[in-house]
Amino acid sequence: MKRLLFLFTSIFFIGCGDDKDSSKQVEKKKTITSQKTGNQGQVELLEPISTDPIYSYEIDGGKAVITNYNGSGESFTIPDTIEDFPVTEIRAKAFASSTTLKSIIIGKNVTVIGRFAFSGCTELSSIEIPDGVRSIGELAFDNCSNLESINVGDDNQYYSSEEGVLYDNGKTKIIQCPLGKTGSLTVARGVSSIDNYAFRSCVKITSVAFGNEVKSIGVGAFYNCLGLNAITLPESIDSIGDMAFYKCSNLLNISIPSNITRIGVQTFADCEGLRDVKIPEGVASISKGAFMDCIGLAEVTVPSTVRSLGRGAFSRCGNLERVTFLGNAPSASADTFGGTSPTIYYNSERQGWGDTFAGLTAKAISSE
């Protein structure tokens, strides 16, 4: 009799537990957690306890969104569905700093990958982008230092890949070069633009060869490419974004294309190895901090078309000895050459010059 009473009581509590679980189905936010159990007497489990990694998700408008991953495993598969709803989005920073992940499989229903979604997944070596993905946020793979290839499904209508580099579908734009890429890289033919931050922190890339179709280089496109020592910019380029070559410390020389009219904010800042810069006629402004901390520069010639120099444009260029201006005196601030003291030379036939310029000694030279 006692055994029957015990059995009835156990069944009653199990039934109550099922009711409690079913009430969770209406919640908007869920978290899947790893579970472990010890040996509880002679209880025999009919089904194994789930060992899925910890992740959070939301159900929104009949679709599931992965919002956060806290697992510690080496691999993870984003499911096609959760609670019978298709998983369509990986939220911004959802997998950020998941340093143990070596493999991630993205479910076939995912259409959106958010900004910084996989940022800091330092052990990730490759990733496959399914055919249905139509939006990949900026810097989605930022700081994935061992990522060697981003591979896109053949039937994707929005993206493509070549040699592990992510392009738009028509291969007119480079979107992301994986940070694990090494050596020289040749940009696919037909590419007309380099996206913002496309090569950011690709520290193992040593040189990049462009085709003559390239017209624009985005903001921070080669930011912190520490190993980059050679790059030839074709004359087809007419736009270079702010901070495009910031902290390319091994870049030795640069010839700016003749179609460029503005050198942006910190475009070549902290390129400490830069020895030779050719600024073409046609450039009208050299912006704030454009060549700041270029300690290797010894001499610069500023073309006659330049009308303004931004604050700190050549600041802290400790070895800069001579700056020659070919045109009228441009506007400048007292700190344009802050932290350095080159001699300023100017064409004696040009206007606006005096004995000093931006607080420095200025000397006239003959135009002959």
pLDDT grade, residue 31 (50/70/90)? low
Rounded average pLDDT over 143-150? 95
pLDDT score for 30: 59
Please state, for a pLDDT cut of 70, what percent of the chain lies above it: 85
Rounded average pLDDT over 314-318? 96
pLDDT grade, residue 203 (50/70/90)? very high
Rounded average pLDDT over 127-154? 95
The residue to which tokens 């249905």 are assigned: 132
Rounded average pLDDT over 267-286? 96
pLDDT grade, residue 366 (50/70/90)? confident
Task: Give per-residue pLDDT as tens, 327-359.
Answer: 999 999 999 999 999 999 999 999 999 999 999
- Chain Cα centroid distance, residue 310: 26
The pLDDT of residue 140 is above 80: yes
Please, what is the end-to-end C-alpha distance for the chain in angstroms?
A: 118
Show the 3-state SS of 288-352.
Answer: CCCCCCCCCCCEEEECCCCCEECCCCCCCCCCCCEEEECCCCCECCCCCCCCCCCEEEEECCCCC
Residue with the larger pLDDT of the pair 60 and 45: 60
pLDDT score for 143: 94
Rounded average pLDDT over 94-109? 95
Domain count, the chain: 1
Question: What mean pLDDT is reported for the chain?
Answer: 87
The pLDDT of residue 202 is above 60: yes
- Structural domain contains residue 122: yes
pLDDT grade, residue 54 (50/70/90)? confident
The pLDDT of residue 10 is above 70: no
pLDDT score for 300: 96
pLDDT score for 235: 94
Residue with the larger pLDDT of the pair 50 and 155: 155
The pLDDT of residue 169 is above 50: yes
- Structural domain contains residue 68: yes
- Structural domain contains residue 256: no
- Structural domain contains residue 273: no
- Structural domain contains residue 116: yes
- Structural domain contains residue 127: yes
CATH number at residue 61: 3.80.10.10
Rounded average pLDDT over 114-118? 97
Question: 255 forms bridges with which residues in the sheet?
Answer: 278
* Domain limits for position 110: 51-147
pLDDT score for 179: 95
pLDDT score for 214: 96
Buried/exposed code over 59-73 (b: 16+ C-beta within 10 A; e: otherwise):
beeebbbbbebebeb
Residue 122: what residue type? T
Cβ proximity of 333 and 354 under 8 Å: no
pLDDT score for 211: 87
- Structural domain contains residue 108: yes
The pLDDT of residue 55 is above 70: yes
pLDDT grade, residue 37 (50/70/90)? very low
- Structural domain contains residue 87: yes
pLDDT score for 27: 39
Please state, for a pLDDT cut of 90, what percent of the chain lies above it: 81
Task: Give per-residue pLDDT as tens, 223-239.
Answer: 999 999 989 899 999 99
The pLDDT of residue 195 is above 90: yes
